Amino acid sequence: MSIRISIPSPNQLSCPQLNQSVGGLTFSQRQTLQAVGPTKSGQITSYRTGDDGDFEYGRGVSFTGLTCNNPFNNTNRFTDQSGGQTYSDNIIVDWLTGLMWYRITSSGGWSIAIDTSIGATTGGYTDWFLPNLPQLAGICNYSVSIMTNYAPFNIDITGTALWSSTSQPSATGNAILAQANNALVGVGKGNSRLYIYCRYFALSDMGL
């Protein structure tokens, strides 16, 4: 069965879209949507039975491979806006999460990272934002020693880290960031770290 849904930006279904009796989703379709789980961590090596590398839970056939074709008829999770792997504008489309990323890092404190992100007009888009923790974690690949240093991101954060927009609940003067040693930790918001920004894309952005 093919389901076509008009998805507003940000990429989230409204309650009427989910629930309306005419034109909405059936109960079965809603259950399927709610069962859509998180992405894979990328870990493919098992260190004991029952660990992440054993189960490899998460959507897709691998960290960078989709189960079904993307609209460009390939199974690459990440493509450029033409469906290829050139990334001449450094914009990455993530077909597993609906996020578009600008892979060039900038540096600054947490507030600068947020202000710069929401003010960015990269690629002609004006709805960029600093990723929250799950959004940032979704591109962290735990099969490589520096979790953001894999194609097409190729972001080497050795000796530094990437800001998320999420604050640390137990110390709200800190925000959570992704460190080079693959840890997600809280650091004072005034410290200068790297950041990248993202946005939710629409298919029409790419002429689809």
Partner 1 sequence: MVTYKFPQFNIEIQNPITSINMNTIGDKAVDKLLSVDIILTTESSSFGVKSEDMSYVDTWEDSDVVNMVNDWLKQFEV
**Where in 130-189 is the site for partner 1 (CB under 8 A)?**
none
> In the set 53, 58, 83, 108, which binds partner 1 (CB under 8 A)?
53
CB of 138 to partner 1, least distance (A): 22
Question: Does residue 46 interact with partner 1 by CB under 8 A?
Answer: yes
Task: Please state, in angstroms and as integers, the Cα–Cα distance from residue 206 to each residue in 82, 116, 123, following that order.
Answer: 7, 24, 11
CB 128 within 8 A of CB 122: yes
Closest to partner 1 by CB, 23 or 50: 50
CB of 125 to partner 1, least distance (A): 39
Question: Does residue 34 interact with partner 1 by CB under 8 A?
Answer: no
3-state secondary structure of 15: helix
Task: Please state, in angstroms and as integers, the Cα–Cα distance from residue 203 to each residue in 71, 96, 99, following that order.
Answer: 9, 13, 11
The 10 Å Cβ neighbour count of residue 42 is 20
Distance CA 157, CA 102 (A): 16
Lay out the site mask for partner 1 across 100-139 (x = CB under 8 A, - = otherwise).
Answer: ----------------------------------------
> In the set 31, 45, 111, 181, which binds partner 1 (CB under 8 A)?
45
CB of 35 to partner 1, least distance (A): 26
Question: Does residue 48 interact with partner 1 by CB under 8 A?
Answer: yes
Q: Which residues, other chains included, contact 109 with Cβ-Cβ below 8 Å and sequence gap of 6+?
A: 189, 190, 191, 192, 193
> Kind and range of the H or E element at 187?
strand 184-188
CB of 45 to partner 1, least distance (A): 4
Residue ranges in contact with partner 1 by CB under 8 A: 44-49, 53
